Structure 1
Amino acid sequence: MSQSLTKTNTPDQVDCLLIPLKDRNLLLPNVTVAEIIPFSHLLTTASSVDWILGRIDWRGTPVPVICYEMLNSQTAPAPNPNARFAVINGVGAHADMPFYAMLIQGIPRLVHISADDIQEVEAMNQGTYDQQVVSMNGENAMIPDLDRLEQTVLGVI
């Protein structure tokens, strides 16, 4: 008996999440995001930097929560009833911090991206932790430098 498999994406496509922040979007590979969870009470930390908002207890693991805008020397977002946390898989496999969370301003959108879909954009307001600014289908998004971001968070927790 033969079976026909239907592919929803081609090998040169990457499933990504377009993650809403205050006034921009982040573009992350879907595998980078462990889970999107509702905004919840933050536990305090002894952090000396204002961009670490606190920590959450996620599946029995203490996870530091960062504000990407503040990390990039921008103002904090206003309180938002649609705010959530994106739990991010650590890229460096550090035992001290296998995950961290990012405050986001809504529900991420799944997008299928191929190399032909994106174009690099020159951005005057690119932040320190923005690796690249891209445009896809007329919509701009920041690709964060996750290695640098993770090293910075590890350096202060």
Structure 2
Amino acid sequence: MTQVVTTTVEKNIQVDCLLVPLKDKHLLLPNVSVAEVIPFSHLLTTNSSADWMLGRIDWRGTLVPAICYEMLNNHSAPAPNPNARFIIVNGVGANADMPFYAILVQGIPKLMHVHKDEIQQVDAMNMGEFDGMAVTVDGDNAMIPDLERVEVELLVNI
């Protein structure tokens, strides 16, 4: 007689994320997608006619395009904020022309350890074109952006 033993190993998968403050909402990004959080810095001009393209910043000797996520999603720009920062985002498309870009944020992102079963998709009003999904995690509402779509739009407009 052959005995079959089934072992169930429940993996409690955890992803380190950043809860990133914007004007009226938060973005939830995997920590690995953010290279660095830097203070607001002087913006260099760009030839782009897109209003959401703020310019370029010099980050570690590389000129990085900087965007306003709210304006990209056809919402109004945030008011000037002394706590504003930029997050440097690792490009997801492995495009040599743009390995990084910056998003204007309204404060210091909060590190969160998110378990798969703690994140819940919710219906959200005012979802923008570049918001992939609205979620609630650990009591916080956030948008998970469609970074691939953001990057494609950025490449078309730089």
Contact 2:12–2:116, Cα closer than 8 Å, also in 1: no
Aligned to 1:6: none
Aligned to 2:8: none
SS of the equivalent of 1:150 reads: helix
Q: TM-score, normalised by structure 2?
A: 0.92
Distance 2:129 2:49 in 1: 19
Moved over 4 A (4+): none
Aligned to 2:114: 113
Aligned to 1:40: 41
1:126-137 to structure 2, matched below 5 A, reads 126-137=127-138
What's the offset of the Cα at 1:137? 2.2
What's the offset of the Cα at 1:11? 5.5
Aligned to 1:5: none
Distance 1:84 1:39 in 2: 5
Unaligned runs of 5+ in 2: 1-10
Q: Which has the larger radius of gyration?
A: 2
Structure 2: which amino acid aligns with 1:101?
A
The one-character-per-residue Cα deviations of 1:70-125 (angstroms, maximum 9, x if unpaired) are 00000000000000000000001101100000000000000001111111000121
Question: 2:54 matched to 1:53?
Answer: yes
1:56-71 to structure 2, matched below 5 A, reads 56-71=57-72
Unaligned runs of 5+ in 1: 1-9
Distance 1:46 1:58 in 2: 19
Identical-pair percentage: 68
Superposition RMSD in Å: 0.9
1:1-157 to structure 2, matched below 5 A, reads 12-157=13-158
Structure 1: which amino acid aligns with 2:63?
P
Q: TM-score, normalised by structure 1?
A: 0.92
Q: Aligned pair count? A: 148
Distance 2:116 2:105 in 1: 26
Structure 2: which amino acid aligns with 1:96?
D
